[in-house]
Structure 1
Amino acid sequence: MKTMNTLKFKTNIKCGNCIATVTPFLNEAVGEGNWEVDVKDPKKVLTVSTATVDTVRQAIEKAGYKAEPLN
């Protein structure tokens, strides 16, 4: 992942099924391979490169989840 535009979000994405649900929305918004979710982290951190906070938040909310920027 690129580091210059990396954003991190606290989410309520909890498991593989949740990731499967948000995948099409995030792939459309930020591109495949430009995001990942760490479901082992207590904050369920979503890391995204090459995107804006609003773009990511809209994609996550469209999928039915929440994302709060961490940085």
Structure 2
Amino acid sequence: IKCDACVAKVTPYLNESAGEGNWQVDLKNPQRVLTVHGEASEKAVKDALEKAGYKAEPLG
């Protein structure tokens, strides 16, 4: 997820898995950190991103 267009592409998928308003992407951070609030599982979020054509790795 590198830009606003990428965020727009993943929005419906993340809204479905995490809930609208429960996630955000920090585009100013070079790592493009996705933060998810609420009860969405890591697997559900990763699956949603994969459906949108993206991959995610947990921060370590």
TM-score (norm 1): 0.79
User: Which residue of structure 2 aligns with residue 63 of structure 1?
Assistant: 52
Structure 1, residues 11-69: CA drift from partner, whole Å, max 9, x if none?
A: xx000000000000000111000000001101000000121110110000100011111
Question: Residue type of the partner of 1:24?
Answer: P
Aligned residues: 59
Q: 1:33 & 1:70 partners in 2: Cα distance? A: 21
* Alignment equivalent of 1:27, drawn from 11, 15, 40: 15
Greater fraction of residues in strand: 1
Matched, 1:45 2:29: no
Structure 1: unaligned runs, 5 residues or longer: 1-12
Q: Relative to total residues, which structure has the larger helix share, 1 or 2? A: 2
Q: What percentage of aligned pairs have identical amino acids? A: 63
Question: Which one has more relative contact order, counting CA pairs under 8 Å at least 6 apart?
Answer: 1
Question: TM-score, normalising length from structure 2?
Answer: 0.93
The unaligned stretches of length 5 or more in structure 2 are none
Query: Which amino acid in the other structure matches residue 41 of structure 2?
Result: T
